[in-house]
Amino acid sequence: MTPPSLLEESLSPVLQAVAREARTGLTATPKSLSPWLFYDAAGSHLFEQITQLPEYYLTRTERSIFTAHADDIIARAAAASPHPATLTLIELGAGSATKTGILLRAAVRQQGTVVYQPVDVSESALAAATENILTNIPGVTVRSQLADYTTQPLPEDRLPNTRTLALYIGSSIGNFAPADATQVLVNLRSQLQPGDQLLLGTDLAPSSHKSPADLLSAYDDAAGITAAFNLNLLTRLNRDLGANFRLANFRHQARWNPTHSRIEMHLESLARQTVVIPANSTGPTLTLHLVPGETIHTENSYKFTATAITHLLSPASFTPTHTWQDPQHRFAVTLATAI
């Protein structure tokens, strides 16, 4: 049964953004959808499960770097300021902020109290992050912001005599094509002051320490959680826009693209099928025709060398000052100064 038209309904700003992204991406050649669409409540929950999978080394590896070096990270970030100042931590795409607590505890140890400003598009993730931090880390004041950090400004209420340490961790920068990643960092830099700091987490490219097979298994786990996470994107479009995607007609696919040094996630059509997204306030009815083997490209995850990290930061006027890696050289955390 075709859902009723949403044309006369007043879509919320979030649903308008969902509708615009679906219309833009699904009418492109090849078809694509932005990975920010993953993170409704169900998607955020599934991603938290992904971070705990044995195949998904990224989260636990970055956490191990923070556990080993948090005090050094905070001390270096504070010392990089030209004048003594208290650090305020702003996190882009905070999620549930489980790893961030390690850095917040180090900040509290160093300066007594700390203001933490998580920014995320998921209201449920922000609520979980706020509850987790306030319950478990005395001395932290949380000022959350529901926003898309790629298009909306960061919190403007800078406290007197503070420096910002912007956290962009979890290799989230790897979801953007190189030009877009540079633009994200340029936008961030435009909202910081000289001497503010950026802590950037990046997954490292294949080397003698890890193979493309290691990467592929991290994005196509044996339990099928990543597949469910990818397919949930279609569930969201069905719910939010009244689309009629049949999930059984699609399968999750992970690919390693060595030319661009990235993992790609796709939803592959298993049948010749027609999908309808009803008219809404962003446009008329959208009818999609897919053939077997055609894919909807849902995510990239770029992998970096040390040189690539520097080339990423420099055009945005950030100067790398220190990098920490795990002993297996799978992941890097880089501190950089806004110049």
List pLDDT tens digits, range 283-331. 999 999 999 999 999 999 999 999 999 999 999 999 999 999 999 999 9
Q: How confident is the model at residue 269 (pLDDT cuts 50, 70, 90)?
A: very high
pLDDT tens digits, one per residue of 233-252: 999 999 999 999 999 999 99
pLDDT of residue 2 exceeding 70, the answer is no
- Structural domain harbouring 120: 57-207+304-338
Any domain includes 160: yes
Cβ atoms of residues 290 and 269 within 8 Å: yes
- CB atoms inside a 10 Å sphere around CB 284: 12
**Residue indicated by tokens 């397919």:** 231
pLDDT tens track for 197-214: 999 999 999 998 899 999
Which CATH number goes with the domain that contains 125? Answer: 3.40.50.150
For the chain, what is the domain count?
1
Q: Is residue 291 part of a domain?
A: no
pLDDT of 81: 65
- The angle formed by the CA atoms of residues 319, 160 and 115, to the nearest 5 degrees, is 75
Residue 1, pLDDT above cutoff 50? no
What is the pLDDT at residue 3?
46
Q: Is residue 263 part of a domain?
A: no
**Is the residue at 261 inside a domain?**
no
By mean pLDDT, which of 48-52, 80-84, 164-168, 175-179 is the weakest?
Answer: 80-84
**What are the tens digits of pLDDT across the range 111-160?**
999 999 999 888 888 998 999 999 999 999 999 998 888 888 887 778 78
Quick one: pLDDT at residue 319? Answer: 97
Domain assignment of residue 309, yes or no: yes
How many CB atoms are located within 10 Å of the residue 255 CB?
15
Looking at the domain assignment, is residue 3 inside a domain?
no
Helix (DSSP H) and strand (DSSP E) numbers for the chain: 9, 13
Read off the DSSP letter of residue 6.
Answer: B
